[in-house]
Amino acid sequence: MISPGDKFGKWTVLSDSDKTDSSNNKYYTCKCECGTVRDIAGHKLRTGRTKSCGCNRSIDMTGQRTGRLTFIKRVGKDEKGRFIWECKCDCGETCQRTIGKAKTVGSCGKHTAEVAKITLDENRKKQHYIDGTLAEELTAQLSKNNTSGFKGVYWNKEKGKWVAQITFRRKNYNLGRYDNIEDAVAARKAAEERFFKPILEKVKEGKSGQNISGGQE
């Protein structure tokens, strides 16, 4: 006879369950010491075929750290069967995280906006807005989709020509089509001298780290 409160390994019987299997075995709703609740067949409890939900086989993260979090104890499982841990953040707050989420988020979550603002402020200090143009955008690296090796130059298969273009202050300028890539590159460089050079020269004049005539390109 199995009754509520009986213990089998890490399982504690909570109540009878309405569940039965094809052999009409009786089931009991049980709670593991880790917090997992599950319906268990009575014969498996009596014979010792099950002694826990499997938490004995899980990684013990107690006392380990990831980001700002320290793992305290397991408190249960989520809907996918992953262990949920109680964690303590360096700020003193506690939260519940799976191991994966703890490693991804790295904190109790209350610092996300704070960290994002600090990062944004630091990035802004390194940027240069000149006459409404973000200078760093003018010297950005080649796109991974670029196949010509030159910014603003690409092969137009339909026309059988090299095309040169440049974008400045959200306006795209078509610089023409060319039979050879050298002419297209030359057209692009001439446009950079016209549009980009005055902006970049102001940065070199000692205005580094300042936002001048604020506003984005």
- pLDDT at position 215: 36
- For residue 116, give the DSSP letter: H
Residue that wins the pLDDT comparison between 120 and 18: 18
Cβ–Cβ < 8 Å for 163, 156: yes
Whole-angstrom CA distances from 124 to 27, 66, 196, 207, 214 are: 62, 29, 20, 14, 11
Among 93-97, 132-136, 200-204, 206-210, the range of highest mean pLDDT = 93-97
Confidence of residue 209 (pLDDT cuts 50, 70, 90): very low
Residue 216 has pLDDT above 60, yes or no: no
**Mean pLDDT value of segment 133-146:** 80
- pLDDT at position 117: 67
Which single residue is written with the structure tokens 């993260």? 61
Confidence of residue 122 (pLDDT cuts 50, 70, 90): low
pTM of this structure: 0.40
Longest dimension (CA), the chain: 92
Cβ–Cβ < 8 Å for 86, 76: no
Q: Tell me the residue type at 162.
A: W
Confidence of residue 163 (pLDDT cuts 50, 70, 90): very high
- pLDDT at position 107: 85
Q: How far, in Å, CA of 77 to CA of 84, rounded?
A: 5
- pLDDT at position 217: 37
- pLDDT at position 116: 62
- pLDDT at position 109: 81
Domains and CATH numbers, the chain: 7-55 (no CATH), 58-112 (no CATH), 124-204 (3.30.730.10)
pLDDT, tens only, 19-60: 888 888 899 999 988 778 899 999 999 988 888 887 666 678
